[in-house]
Amino acid sequence: MFLLSMSTLAGAMVIITLAAYLIPDPPHPLAEDRCGFAFCEMCMKEAPYTCSACRTTRYCSPRCQSADWRVHRQSCKIHQKLNEMSTRIALTPPKRPPLGQCTGCNAKVGGEGRRLALCKDCGYQACGSCEPHYSRGTCYCPNSNFGKKYCQMEPRWYHTNGRGREYAGDRHPETQGQPYPNDMYERERRACDNCGLVTKMFKKEYRDPWVWH
């Protein structure tokens, strides 16, 4: 009896070990990601999904993801580490720039009639030629530019925190005369995640700067 139970135990352990070997940790769930056109890592077909762990590698289907998992699990970990690093860098506020010097081009501005636009929130200063510039005219604030909230503007790719991290929050741009079509908005009013205003928000697809230009 004792011997029998010992061999049963050993048998069970063999099965468990075998199972762990044959069924390694499953791939991370797929997340839908229709931002931008991308190709499947495995079959080069259009890939509407991304690995939810690294948010980098794209697949057409769970099938192709499973087929690639043996290879991808290593690079997945590396991508995750890199993502963590860039998030940390992006969230660290840059040093407040010295007063009287354009943060965009480093030009010292002191002379008459030459003024610097100053963001009171982050200290970014822009000279006359940097102020309208597509990237140098973007201050360090993650949710606004020189005090103007991104949620109140149409999406543009240079809406960043000055370090390339895109603004990804709600959008409810002020209409300048020409109203936006109704079907661009979500059905229900709700509070904006950036400014708190309760109003109609753009649907997610219209927050993507690439659909605008």
How is residue 84 written in tokens?
Answer: 């963590």
DSSP β-bridge partners for residue 190: 199
- Which region, judged by CB under 5 A, interacts with Zn ion, from 16-24, 150-158, 177-185, 203-211? 150-158
Report the alpha-carbon distance of residue 49 to residue 57 in Å, rounded. Answer: 9
Q: Are 152 and 172 in contact (CB under 8 A)?
A: yes
Q: Does 117 bind Zn ion (CB under 5 A)?
A: no
Q: CA gyration radius for the chain? A: 25
192, 201, 206, 207: which one binds Zn ion (CB under 5 A): 192
- Which region, judged by CB under 5 A, interacts with Zn ion, from 13-21, 29-37, 95-103, 180-188? 95-103
Binding mask 47-66 for Zn ion (x = CB under 5 A): ----x-xx--x--x---x--
For residue 11, the minimal CB distance to Zn ion (Å) is 36
- Which region, judged by CB under 5 A, interacts with Zn ion, from 1-9, 86-94, 118-126, 201-209? 118-126
Q: Which is nearer to Zn ion, 38 or 157 (CB)?
A: 38
Nearest to 43 by CA among 56, 28, 30, 58: 58
Q: Which is nearer to Zn ion, 57 or 160 (CB)?
A: 57
Q: Does 105 bind Zn ion (CB under 5 A)?
A: yes
Q: Are 34 and 22 in contact (CB under 8 A)?
A: no
Q: Are 59 and 71 in contact (CB under 8 A)?
A: no
Report the alpha-carbon distance of residue 159 to residue 20 in Å, rounded. Answer: 47
Binding residues for Zn ion (CB under 5 A): 40, 42-43, 45, 51, 53-54, 57, 60, 64, 76, 102, 104-105, 119, 121-122, 127, 130, 139, 141, 151, 192, 194-195, 197
